[in-house]
Amino acid sequence: MQRLLHDLGYTEVGSRRADGSFDGVWGDFTKAAILAFRLDNGLPKTDAVDDALVLALAKARPRELPRNDAKPEEVRQKVPEVRSNWLAKVGAWFVGIPAAIGAAVDGVVGNIGSAAGFLQPGLPP
């Protein structure tokens, strides 16, 4: 049931194992996926599995969600969590690049004395 719902676009069916298989647990997420499928297909509002559900699943085509076509810029504008995450990543680049350059320069400068000692054996390290 979980695999079939997932393949039809009802991805909120529950946990998946490392190998990609579903956990098979009849939990809240699986019930929510069944309920969403039923509502999308004009079936009675219940999370039960009955003949009408099985028949509808057999005939169903994958659902189309408008969010699948959304551009990243649109999502950032409409979802505050995505925007703050994006801003955090941009900020990390602005802080991370100078820090990486500084660390590289510090490593070179810190080892100049040792390098000079290897190149000119009479100098103290």
Query: Domain extents for the chain?
Result: 2-66, 70-119
* For residue 21, pLDDT beyond 80: yes
Q: What is the mean pLDDT of residues 71-81?
A: 80
Average pLDDT, the chain: 84
At residue 122 the predicted structure's pLDDT band, cuts being 50, 70 and 90, is low
| Residue 117, CA atoms < 13 Å, CB-side half-sphere | 7
Higher pLDDT, 83 or 100: 100
Measure Cα distances from 57 to 30, 47, 71 in Å.
14, 14, 30
pLDDT at position 85: 82
pLDDT at position 116: 67
Fold of 2-66: Muramoyl-pentapeptide Carboxypeptidase; domain 1 (1.10.101)
Q: What is the mean pLDDT of residues 81-95?
A: 84
